[in-house]
């Protein structure tokens, strides 16, 4: 199970690097080994099946759906992030879309990972914010981020995701990551605005178990090997990559 491996890596202190792929911007030529997972999903895309198949045909890396709407579900993925947008007060993102997809998810038998998704202010209005109307947590309002993370854990979520938004000017700060890390005992994922290996290492040092990078690798796929190499040299004492579905 993918979540068991995530938990095991977090417990051992082995950090994971995930590449996020937006189906609307997918380029199969940029696929490569070395990531622990591929997340597939986007704020506006409808179909993910062809992207999931392309990754499976090219790489041994497992694919996890990170759906922006119920139309992105495909049972061809290896797992699904069943997310709740903790900032939202819109019932669509709290329960309605989850109800729409629940039968298909259960009937498919796909592994589902309940996740508390927390949008943090990244210095610009993200696509997620524009589409959902959710108010991001200010970087300086650490108690608000902690409350959302604690509420997510109390609701039974298995994973926390701190997200500054695609193309964020500022990644989630180390104080926010550190405070949330201390407040909950769940694997912690951080993404948005990470453009350098040092920013990735800063997130890990603050307590992130998983770093997700999407937009930067869309623009600079030639840098993927640098990030993978830095991670391997710093945090992978053993092979943390999840076994393939094959």
Set out the domains of the chain in order of their start, with CATH numbers.
2-228 (3.20.20.390)
Q: Are 18 and 200 in contact (CB under 8 A)?
A: no
What's the pLDDT at 244?
40
Mean pLDDT of 74-93: 94
What's the pLDDT at 238?
41
172-211 pLDDT, tens digit per residue, is: 999 999 999 999 999 999 999 999 999 999 999 999 999 9
Rounded to an integer, what is the distance from CA 38 to the centroid of its chain? 9
Mean pLDDT of 157-176: 95
Mean pLDDT of 119-127: 92
210: three-class secondary structure by DSSP: strand
> How many CB atoms are located within 10 Å of the residue 44 CB?
12
What's the pLDDT at 236?
65
> Token pair for residue 32?
């490569």
Those residues whose C-beta lies under 8 Å from the C-beta of residue 206, and which sit 6 or more positions away, are: 174, 175, 177, 178, 181
CA distances from 102 to 71, 110, 127 (A): 12, 11, 25
What's the pLDDT at 130?
87
Could you tell me which of 168, 146, 160 has the C-alpha nearest to residue 213?
A: 168
Q: 3 pLDDT exceeds 60?
A: yes
What's the pLDDT at 41?
92
Q: Which residue has the tokens 């201390």?
A: 182
Could you tell me which of 175, 36, 193, 179 has the C-alpha nearest to residue 123?
A: 193
> DSSP alpha helices (H): ranges in the chain?
2-12, 49-58, 91, 97-108, 127-132, 142-154, 174-183, 197-206, 215-219, 224-234
pLDDT band at 42 (very low <50, low <70, confident <90, very high): confident
What's the pLDDT at 243?
39
What's the pLDDT at 191?
97
Please state, for a pLDDT cut of 70, what percent of the chain lies above it. 95
212-240 pLDDT, tens digit per residue, is: 999 999 999 999 999 999 998 888 644 44
What's the pLDDT at 93?
87
Q: 246 pLDDT exceeds 70?
A: no
What's the pLDDT at 45?
66
């Amino acid at each position: 199970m993918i979540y068991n491996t995530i938990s095991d890596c977090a417990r051992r202190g082995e950090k994971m690097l995930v590449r996020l792929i937006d189906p609307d911007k997918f380029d199969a030529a940029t696929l490569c080994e070395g990531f622990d997972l591929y997340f597939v999903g986007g704020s506006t895309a409808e179909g993910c099946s062809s992207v999931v198949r392309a990754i499976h045909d090219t790489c041994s890396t497992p694919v996890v759906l990170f759906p922006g709407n119920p139309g992105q579900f495909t049972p061809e993925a290896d797992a699904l992030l069943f997310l709740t947008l903790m900032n939202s007060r819109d019932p669509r993102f709290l329960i309605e879309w989850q109800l729409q997809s629940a039968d298909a998810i259960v009937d498919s038998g796909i592994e589902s990972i309940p996740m508390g998704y927390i949008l943090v202010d990244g210095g610009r209005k993200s696509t997620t914010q524009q589409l959902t109307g959710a108010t991001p947590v200010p970087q300086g309002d650490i108690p608000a981020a902690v409350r959302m993370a604690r509420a997510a854990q109390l609701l039974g979520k298995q994973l926390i995701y701190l997200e500054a938004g695609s193309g964020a000017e500022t990644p989630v700060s180390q104080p926010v990551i550190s405070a949330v890390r201390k407040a909950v005992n769940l694997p912690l994922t951080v993404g948005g605005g990470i453009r350098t290996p040092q920013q990735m290492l800063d997130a890990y040092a603050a307590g992130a178990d998983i770093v997700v990078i999407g937009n930067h690798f869309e623009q600079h796929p030639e840098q993927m090997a640098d990030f993978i190499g830095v991670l391997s040299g710093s945090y992978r004492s053993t092979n943390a990559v999840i076994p393939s579905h094959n």
